[in-house]
Amino acid sequence: KQEVTQIPAALSVPEGENLVLNCSFTDSAIYNLQWFRQDPGKGLTSLLLIQSSQREQTSGRLNASLDKSSGRSTLYIAASQPGDSATYLCAVKGPGTASKLTFGTGTRLQVTL
């Protein structure tokens, strides 16, 4: 059974800092890994998707890496801004056309002025 863990559970940083969020998963047989952002009480916004054959993906100030063999992914946020404050969730999709997403419990990020 796939299990996804995210560390830390919560993080508070001053504006302008670079930061790293961690995600680990127990079964390396994944199809892809996705990072999502969730604002309080809202749905999920997809940030980055990394296929199992890829090592990293970048979008603006965000960079996500994937080490499938060790079951780890990191989300790097450069030059953090107060608008980055949200919960960040990682999710892995198993192999197979019908495979579900398995989510971690998220990292709650607060960027202070």
Interacting residues toward another protein by CB under 8 A: 4, 32, 34, 36, 41-46, 49, 89, 91, 93, 97-106
CA 12 to chain centre: 17
Helical spans, DSSP H, in the chain: none
Nearer to another protein, 98 or 113 (CB): 98
In whole angstroms, how close is the CB of 46 to another protein at the nearest point?
7
**Strand, helix or coil at 82?**
helix
Nearer to another protein, 80 or 102 (CB): 102
Residue of 36, 29, 26 whose CA lies nearest to 107 = 36
Nearer to another protein, 75 or 89 (CB): 89
